[in-house]
Amino acid sequence: MYDLIGDIHGHAAALEALLSKLHYSQVDGVWRHPSRKVVFVGDYIDRGPEIRKALQIVKGMSDSGNAIALMGNHEYNALAYAFETSDGKFLRSHNTKHNIQHQATLDQFSEYENEWEEYLEWFYSLRLFLDTGELRAIHACWDDAHIEKLKRDGIEKMTADLLVKSHDRYNSEYRVINDLLKGKEFNIPEQYAWHDKDGNLRSQNRIKWWKDPANASYQEFLFDCPDELKERMIEGHIDALIYPADAPPVFFGHYWLKDNYPVIQADNVVCLDYSIAKGGNLVAYRWDGESTLDGSHFVSVAYFE
């Protein structure tokens, strides 16, 4: 059975508190449980105060077989930030926006550059998705067509070739990787543009990809919906790929939910990211094989320094 844990973002103390609450204990420096395994849904780095320690915990559990670690968009971005192309540029440019997003990690590894290089290499070993047949996990968005393409191509993990291709908008890999790790987006009217958590102006909103936009309000279909749009019904047809209600349960992170306590998004859909890096909660779901998810299976710890 699996305990699925949301985005950590360098909050190692909260992670250790959550693992203890889940009845894991340290044996020879590795957190483990006698009969269960953790699935981490990505985003171990950036923002938080103990990024090195968080990586040590996650990698230690993964290397010892006590966890499955998936790639998040922050690990993906870190690989691209470090990948220098033949023309001397980087796949992820070192501009002010990207520097700010990555600064906490760079600062905390400033005296451990070799160690950081080892973690970057380890990121290539992280799974892009998990599909056991009874359970699914992804960092941001499950899209059957994208997953099937990766399976046909024999791809479960990031490679340098895939990293490069996924940064070229003219390659199919661009849409596949960006949808899976960053989520699908919807263009809202420009007059409703909004500022995200980092102060960036946005006119695109991530969608709730398990929701049918037909006869739905913007609030029901969009994450971070502007107040002026919340009660308005969506107009026109939206060609959305909706996660089927009869598909296996799927778990993901990424979306910085702000509720005080975790909730089930649908009978077979759960987001586990409750904004630990913004003073929220670190959340786990204790999965015991059920196909219809149960809100009583959540376990969480509140943010603390």
* Residues 243/211/137/18 CA torsion (nearest 10 deg): -160
pTM: 0.94
Q: How confident is residue 3, by pLDDT bands cut at 50, 70 and 90?
A: very high
Are both 191 and 290 inside the same structural domain?
no
The stretch 74-100 carries a mean pLDDT of 95
Residue matched to tokens 């105060």 = 49
The reported pLDDT for the residue numbered 270 is 97
Predicted local distance difference test score (pLDDT) of residue 15: 98
> pLDDT at residue 292 above 90?
yes
Residues in contact with 112: Cβ distance below 8 Å, sequence separation at least 6, in sequence order: 52
Q: Does one domain contain both 203 and 233? A: yes
Q: Are residues 234 and 255 in the same domain?
A: no
Q: Which of 207, 227, 242 is where one domain is finished?
A: 242
Q: What confidence category does residue 203 fall into, taking pLDDT thresholds of 50, 70 and 90?
A: confident
Q: How many domains does the chain have?
A: 2
Residues 200 and 273 in one domain: no
Residues paired with 25 in a beta bridge: 32
User: Do residue 187 and residue 176 come from a single domain?
Assistant: no
CATH number for the domain harbouring residue 91: 3.60.21.10
Apex 165 CA angle, 164 and 167, nearest 5: 70
CA nearest to 51, candidates 60, 43, 41, 63:
43
pLDDT digits (tens, 9 = 90+) for 117-163: 999 999 999 999 999 999 999 999 999 999 999 999 999 999 999 99
Helix axes 73-82, 172-182, angle to 10 degrees: 130
Range of the domain at 148: 2-182+246-302
Domain check: are 75 and 193 in the same one?
Answer: no
Percent of the chain whose pLDDT exceeds 70:
98
- pLDDT the model gives residue 188: 80
Of 195, 212, 242, the residue at which a domain comes to its end is 242
What is the structure's pLDDT at 121? 98
Average pLDDT rounded to a whole number, residues 202-208: 84
- Mean per-residue pLDDT over the chain, rounded: 93
